[in-house]
Structure 1
Amino acid sequence: MKVVLGVIFSGVLLAGCQEQGQTLAKVADKSVTQDEFSAYLAHKHIPADSEKRVSAALDDYLAREALAKAVEQSALLDNKLIAAELNEFRKQMLISRYFEKYLNNVVTEDALLNYYANNPEQFQTKRVNVAHILFRVRRGMTQPEIDALKTKVYEVYSKLQASETFADLAKAYSQDVLSAEKEGELGWIKEGAIDSEFSRIAFSLEEGKYSEPFRTPFGFHIVKQLKSPQIIKQPFEAVKGDIRYQLRAEAKQAEYDKLLKQVVVKKVATLNKVE
């Protein structure tokens, strides 16, 4: 290998040359400097004080440089296309590595905690415990059929006003089979998680009170508030990932726009039409 390298290289390794910027070797007309090789060692995670590994790495590095130079000088490949691909790879590497470091520096644990503390409304939900009696309006129903349902729901409402219990009436009349088995109880529902009219009425009631009949896309309801609304705050650890994603996206866009403004781009020629 050393004999082959000695033939390929137009220069030899300058033993003991450790100063940054110094030439270690030449491959044809290209100088290989200590700076370049040190960067290569860092890229390969090879410690500079590991003499054997550094020596082997240098042999491999110079051999690949020589091989690439020989291929570059051949007529087999389209060097302009290769150069274009390398330039695109270089740009992508620069951009991705820059933003990786930039975002790690900007979106810190403290930044996440500050956002969580300063935007409490984003991480809390309001919920209420309710029960309902439902008469379903199904697709294809005629207006007389819908009117008959409306009459039934008002009959049940009259029974409530006559002191019959909500639980018994839900079991007897509600067409929501699952909740009817539990005396109409739907459990805790989040504000805005269901139909807007249902949510508005459920949260506006007083604990223990029930509503007048009203209609939603599901049908006719009577709603009873079992327990008054509560505000539940999500713990930081549960939303930490979402905050990080949001802050990184915002910081990246802001930095992207700032960087573009620093460099003036001018089109100085019109592209020829590609046939």
Structure 2
Amino acid sequence: MKRGLVWGALVLAGCGSVACGSRDEVARVGDTSVSRAEVVLQQQGGGTLETALDAVVDRTLLAEAARREGLLKEPLLAARVEAARREVLAHAYVEALGVKASTEEALRQRYTSQKEALTQREVHVAHIVVYVQPQATERERVEAQARINKVYARVVGGEDFAVVAQEASEDPATGSRGGDLGVVREGQVDPRFFAAVAELKPGAPSAPFATAFGLHVARALEAPRTVVPSFEEVRGVLAAQARHEAVEARMKELRQDITVKRHPERLSAETTSVRSEGESR
């Protein structure tokens, strides 16, 4: 939802801000108070505080006129105002829960407790790829398979893998390096690719295999090893987990603490009524 619409809806919904009658009030438009915070928020789009104040006053004039002329009596507009208020408050509350749940100390404790689960395998690998587009015809797929089979025959026939990669790989970035893809980690590449290379002995080529990107022949340059990602590497994942769990836990508490009464039988009738009123104007 756009910031202007949210702000305008909140003005329509009440006093305009928490500044009603307070020293934070920087303008009053009819019955609506304008706070310094609203002006600072408007200024985030650029300009000076003075121009931001002018802009807020102009929008408040329109909102005040809308209220005086009874626009809030229109069900759809009233619903939009309440939806804006609800979304602003809900978003702010979720953000606050997330901040509280993802402190440095909390994330480091989570990292320590999840170290075993975070363990991943990685392997230094080289590959030769023949690309196959998702929309490729059957003939194009057959031709691609023939090319990768030829590559495989050259490699198992004793030709240097790096030379074949430079000559035949359709990935110019790795092909120029003899196919060297660097270290790939489990969960960060196509699962089919990792499954194929993780079982290779160093120096041994794989048989041709397919991924979403095309057909490959790969070679492990080193033996696979198991690693634990550093805290910084997984910090974002840990923070997302913490925020999600905090919101889910709080939602469970709220469903128990706050009474909710639903009237689903009224939905179709109310929807029809609102639509009819909107169509009649």
Normalising by structure 1, report the TM-score: 0.54
CA-CA distance at 1:169 after TM superposition: 3.6
- Quick one: structure 1 residues 150 and 252, their matched pair in 2 at CA, closer, same or farther if it must change by over 3 Å? closer
Deviations 1:244-274, CA, capped at 9 Å, x for gaps: 3432232123212322322333468967763
Q: Does 1:202 align with 2:197?
A: yes
1:188 is paired with a residue whose SS is strand
Task: Identify the residue that residue 242 of structure 2 maps to in structure 1.
Answer: 247
Kindly, what percent of the aligned residue pairs are identical?
Answer: 27
User: Is the 1:129–1:189 contact (alpha carbons within 8 Å) kept by the matching residues of 2?
Assistant: yes
> How many residues get paired?
211
Q: How does 1:70-109 map to 2 (within 5 A)?
A: 76=68, 78=70, 107-109=102-104
Task: Identify the residue that residue 157 of structure 2 maps to in structure 1.
Answer: 159
Task: Identify the residue that residue 208 of structure 2 maps to in structure 1.
Answer: 214
The 2-side partners of 1:95 and 1:137 are apart by 46
Counterpart AA for 2:121? K
Q: Say which structure is richer in helix.
A: 2
Q: How does 1:4-83 map to 2 (within 5 A)?
A: 57=23, 68=31, 76=68, 78=70
Structural RMSD (CA): 4.7
Task: Identify the residue that residue 175 of structure 2 maps to in structure 1.
Answer: 180
Counterpart AA for 1:197? R
1:182 is paired with a residue whose SS is coil
Task: Identify the residue that residue 114 of structure 2 maps to in structure 1.
Answer: 119
2:259 is paired with a residue whose SS is coil
Task: Identify the residue that residue 256 of structure 1 maps to in structure 2.
Answer: 251
1:155 is paired with a residue whose SS is helix
CA-CA distance at 1:189 after TM superposition: 2.0
The 1-side partners of 2:190 and 2:83 are apart by 50
CA-CA distance at 1:232 after TM superposition: 4.5
The 1-side partners of 2:83 and 2:140 are apart by 64
Task: Identify the residue that residue 221 of structure 2 maps to in structure 1.
Answer: 226
User: Is the 1:132–1:185 contact (alpha carbons within 8 Å) kept by the matching residues of 2?
Assistant: yes
Q: Which has the larger radius of gyration?
A: 1
Can you give the 5+ residue segments of structure 1 that lack an aligned partner in the other structure?
1-42, 45-55, 70-74
The 2-side partners of 1:101 and 1:119 are apart by 24
User: Is the 1:210–1:224 contact (alpha carbons within 8 Å) kept by the matching residues of 2?
Assistant: yes
Can you give the 5+ residue segments of structure 2 that lack an aligned partner in the other structure?
1-17, 33-66, 277-281
The 2-side partners of 1:242 and 1:202 are apart by 26
1:119 is paired with a residue whose SS is helix
User: Is the 1:156–1:169 contact (alpha carbons within 8 Å) kept by the matching residues of 2?
Assistant: yes
Deviations 1:192-242, CA, capped at 9 Å, x for gaps: 44443332121111222222x313155553321112224444433454344
CA-CA distance at 1:152 after TM superposition: 2.1
Task: Identify the residue that residue 36 of structure 1 maps to in structure 2.
Answer: none
The 1-side partners of 2:210 and 2:118 are apart by 28
User: Is the 1:153–1:220 contact (alpha carbons within 8 Å) kept by the matching residues of 2?
Assistant: no
User: Is the 2:145–2:215 contact (alpha carbons within 8 Å) kept by the matching residues of 1?
Assistant: no
